[in-house]
Amino acid sequence: MVDAALPRSLRDVVKGVRVWQGQAVVTLGLMVLILTRIPGGALLIVTFAIAKDRVFVGVRSMVPAILLMSLVLGNVE
Q: Count the domains in the chain.
A: 1
75 confidence band (pLDDT: 50, 70, 90): low
Residue 26's pLDDT is 94
pTM score, two decimals? 0.62
User: In three state form, how does the secondary structure of the chain look?
Assistant: CCCCCCCCCHHHHHHHHHCCCHHHHHHHHHHHHHHHHHHHHHHHHHHHHHCCCHHHHHHHHHHHHHHHHHHHHHCCC
35 confidence band (pLDDT: 50, 70, 90): confident
Residue 27 lies in a domain: yes
Residue 45 belongs to what domain range? 10-74
Residue 77's pLDDT is 57
